[in-house]
C-alpha cells in the first residue's frame, strides 16, 4: 500500500485564495486529481511563504511532505510554478526536514498557553513604551535587562526571514543552532544577539509588565500581556519541505549570505 502511494501519491492542492492561484489549482486538480488534506500523501501549496507556513502547521506531525509553487511576493520557500511534469518534479524533489520551536507563555492572568513556530518566536512591545526583558539561557541569566522593541529566537529555516531583517545572523539549514536577536535594542545598544545551541532553553521575563506590556508570537499565533516566555526546540514534531533539484533550502540559505 505504501509503495503504491509513493508511486502514485494522493495530492492535495491548497492556495492563498488569489484568483491566479485558484485558477491554477483548478487546472492542476483536473490534470492530476485531488483529495482533502487529511487524506493526502503530498500537499502542493500555491501561494507565498505565508501560505507555506500555514500549510506546514496543518500537516505537522503527519509526515506529509509539502511542495510549494510561488504565487506570492517573496517565495523563499517556494518552487517556480509550472503545470507540466508535476509528478516527476515531486518524485525528484529534495527533502528538507525542519523541527519547530515550542513556545510556552505565562500571561498576566496566570494562564499558561503553548504554540509551535517553524520560523521564529518573537516578543514585541505592545505600547509606545519600550519593553524591558530579562533573558535566561538554560536557567542562567545572560542578559539582566534588555530595553528594546522586542526580541526573537529563530530556527535556521527562519533565520533568513524576520531575523535577517532585524540584522540577525543567517544560520546554515543543517546547523544545530538557534539565533537570538534583539529588535531595535536601546540598552545595551551595541548588543547584537547570540548564536545558541538548538538544545538550549531560552526564557524571556518581562519587567514592569503592567507599564510596558509585551506580546509573544509563534509564527502567526499571538498571546497578549505575557509575563514569561519559554522557548526550546521540539523534536517530537517535524515538517518536510520539497524543493526542485539544485534549489534546495540549504542552497537558498547559502546563496542568501552572498547577496548585496
* Span 45-70, pLDDT tens digits: 999 999 999 999 999 978 899 999 99
Task: Decide: 203 and 226 in contact? Cβ < 8 Å.
Answer: no
Residues 124, 206 within the same domain: yes
Residues 245, 229 within the same domain: no
Structure confidence by residue, pLDDT tens digits, 19-48: 999 999 999 999 999 999 999 999 999 999
Is 49 marked active-site? yes
Q: How far apart are CA 65 and CA 68, in angstroms?
A: 10
Per the annotation, binding residues for NAD(+) are 49-50, 119-120, 149, 157, 160-165
Residues 83, 120 within the same domain: no
Cell of 233: 526546540
Per the annotation, binding residues are 49-50, 119-120, 149, 157, 160-165
Q: Per-residue b/e over 22-48, b at no fewer than 16 CB within 10 Å?
A: eebbeebeeebebbeeeebbbbbbbbb
Number of domains in the chain: 2
pLDDT value for 255: 83
Task: Provide the CB-side half-sphere exposure for 95 (13 A, CA).
Answer: 11
Residues 163, 74 within the same domain: no
Residues 195, 210 within the same domain: yes
- Catalytically annotated residue among 41, 49, 107, 219: 49
Residues 133, 81 within the same domain: no
Evaluated on CA atoms 25, 30, 31, 37, the torsion sign reads positive
Residues 150, 174 within the same domain: yes
pLDDT classification of 1: cutoffs 50, 70, 90? very low
Residues 73, 114 within the same domain: no
Three-point CA angle 236, 200, 120, nearest 5°: 70
The dihedrals phi and psi of 86, each to the nearest 5 degrees, come to: -65, -45
Residues 145, 250 within the same domain: no
**Alpha helices, DSSP H, located in 33-132:** 49-59, 86-92
Residues 14, 32 within the same domain: yes
Q: Which CATH number is 212's domain given? A: 2.60.200.30
Q: What DSSP designation does 211 have? A: T
Residues 218, 109 within the same domain: yes
Q: How far apart are CA 227 and CA 109, in angstroms?
A: 9
Cβ neighbours of residue 195 under 8 Å, at least 6 residues apart? 169, 171, 177, 178, 179, 180
pLDDT value for 251: 85
Domain span at residue 53 reads 2-98+238-256
Residues 245, 135 within the same domain: no
253 pLDDT exceeds 80? yes
Amino acid at each position: 500500500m505504501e509503495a503504491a502511494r509513493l508511486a502514485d501519491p494522493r495530492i492535495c492542492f491548497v492556495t492563498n485564495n488569489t484568483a491566479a492561484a485558484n485558477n491554477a489549482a483548478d487546472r492542476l486538480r483536473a490534470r492530476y486529481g485531488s483529495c482533502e488534506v487529511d487524506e493526502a500523501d503530498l500537499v502542493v501549496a500555491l501561494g507565498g511563504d505565508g501560505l507555506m507556513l500555514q500549510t506546514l502547521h496543518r500537516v505537522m506531525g503527519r509526515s506529509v511532505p509539502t511542495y510549494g509553487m510561488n504565487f506570492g511576493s517573496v517565495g523563499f520557500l517556494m518552487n517556480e510554478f509550472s503545470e507540466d511534469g508535476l509528478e516527476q518534479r515531486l518524485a525528484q524533489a529534495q527533502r528538507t526536514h525542519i523541527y519547530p520551536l515550542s513556545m510556552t507563555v505565562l500571561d498576566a492572568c496566570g494562564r499558561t498557553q503553548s504554540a509551535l513556530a517553524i520560523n521564529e518566536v518573537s516578543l514585541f512591545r505592545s505600547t509606545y513604551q519600550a519593553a524591558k526583558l530579562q533573558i535566561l539561557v538554560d536557567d542562567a541569566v545572560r542578559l539582566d535587562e534588555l530595553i528594546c522593541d522586542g526580541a526573537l529566537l529563530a530556527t535556521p529555516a527562519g533565520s533568513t526571514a524576520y531575523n535577517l531583517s532585524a540584522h540577525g545572523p543567517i544560520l546554515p539549514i543543517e546547523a544545530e543552532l538557534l539565533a537570538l536577536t534583539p529588535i531595535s535594542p536601546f540598552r545595551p545598544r551595541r548588543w547584537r544577539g547570540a548564536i545558541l545551541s538548538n538544545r538550549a532553553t531560552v526564557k524571556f521575563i518581562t519587567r514592569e509588565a503592567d507599564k510596558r506590556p509585551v506580546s509573544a508570537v509563534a509564527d502567526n499565533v499571538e498571546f497578549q500581556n505575557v509575563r514569561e516566555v519559554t522557548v526550546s526546540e521540539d523534536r517530537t514534531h517535524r515538517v518536510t519541505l520539497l524543493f526542485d533539484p539544485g534549489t534546495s533550502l540549504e542552497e537558498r540559505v547559502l546563496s542568501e549570505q552572498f547577496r548585496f
